Amino acid sequence: MNFDDQLHRYFGVRDVDALTPDALEAGLERMRVDFGLETDGRRRFALWSLMFLLGAAPDLDEAFEDPADRDAARDFMEMMERAGGDE
**Residues 6+ positions from 1 with CB-CB distance below 8 Å:** 43, 46, 47, 50
Helix (H) or strand (E) holding 79: helix 67-84
> What is the CA 40 to chain-centroid distance, rounded?
15
Q: Which of 83, 80, 36 is nearest to 55 (CA)?
A: 80
Question: What domain range is 78 assigned to?
Answer: 3-84
Number of domains into which the chain is organized = 1
Task: Walk along the chain (87 residues) and give the pLDDT tens digit of each residue.
Answer: 688 888 899 999 988 888 899 999 999 999 999 999 999 999 999 999 999 999 999 999 999 999 999 999 999 999 999 998 655
Burial classification of residue 34, based on how many CB atoms lie within 10 Å of its CB (0-12 exposed, 13-18 middle, 19 or more buried): middle
Tell me the pTM: 0.87
